[in-house]
Structure 1
């Protein structure tokens, strides 16, 4: 295990759609129109957007990301949750059990989700080769130092290892604003969180 720098990817509110919900929102046999590749291989921002409707408000123009997934997932920030009136929990992507839902509004229809709204836990993507070089494994929790004008340390950042991943740390807009980070900025992985806490304890 060694310290390493990693690029930041700031994740704004977005939606991943299932095939069924894509058709309900945009029409039968609809396909997403790719407009921009994202940091992780095979992932892209689509031209399509939807509106999120919660008990207290609406957020319009929420980007759909591709490719299509098995289950629909809505990722928002804590700030968004206040605006919508939804108590979204901090969860890993795909862990949707017990999460709240919302209504999605598209040009061809609406979808009422019973679950699927989360605040994504901050995490670092790594390929198996990168993880081996750095001395980490899937589900490790590491500490990451942000240097600069608003220096801080993110603890318990989850390491996610998969052959389709490349080294990149994802945070949401609230976390980026608090630390004055932007996509492409570099931060430093200090080591496993427990080891870092032991040093200062």
Structure 2
């Protein structure tokens, strides 16, 4: 069975508090484009992210809706180039992760943790997880076909009734295997 792929570029998830510091009191994100997961969207708003070494990544898009904790997701290439200490983590697992300064049009925020390289993962609905024989937290591999075929390991399975089938890879993995959003991969256990 085929699994659709979504290639994810650098992006930010902000808490409401940080959103208001960066964009002004009472600011709400402006949805621009729906993402593959229900209720998730890319917003019009962007911020600059500054590493502790002073290197700047400009124009990092904010994804909505707002979250409890602010988190910046970079590719390993981004993190290395801008000198961020960004461990590979699951979304939301930010304890002890990298620090950054966030710059918006109305203010700045210093975060002591929250910069990560997102792990490879597949979103499954409850029904899709049964079809594929996986449980939340399982770690699998995926097979990539095409011109540069191969196997990607350490792919986390995330299962929820709020999810829709989609394999999320960052731009580094996408480039290495010549994958684009909308391409498909196969599950290998």
Gaps of 5+ in 1: 192-201
User: 1:143 offset after TM fit, Å?
Assistant: 1.1
- Matching residue of 2:21: 24
- Within 5 Å, which residues of 2 pair with 1:8-23? 8-23=5-20
Q: Deviations over 1:90-110 (max 9, x none)?
A: 000111111111010000000
Task: Say whether 1:5 aligns with 2:14.
Answer: no
The Cα RMSD (Å) is: 0.7
Match of 1:170 among 149, 155, 168: 168
Higher strand share: 2
In 2, distance between residues paired with 1:78 and 1:56? 17
- Matching residue of 1:66: 64
- Matching residue of 2:181: 183
Q: How many aligned residue pairs are there?
A: 188
User: 1:161 offset after TM fit, Å?
Assistant: 0.2
Q: Which has the larger radius of gyration?
A: 1
Asked if the contact 1:56/1:83 (under 8 Å) is kept, the reply is no
Task: Say whether 1:43 aligns with 2:40.
Answer: yes
User: 1:76 offset after TM fit, Å?
Assistant: 0.2
User: 1:5 offset after TM fit, Å?
Assistant: 0.9
What's the TM-score, normalizing by structure 2? 0.98
- Moved segments of 4+, more than 4 Å: none
In 2, distance between residues paired with 1:104 and 1:84? 14
Asked if the contact 2:3/2:186 (under 8 Å) is kept, the reply is yes
- Matching residue of 1:128: 126
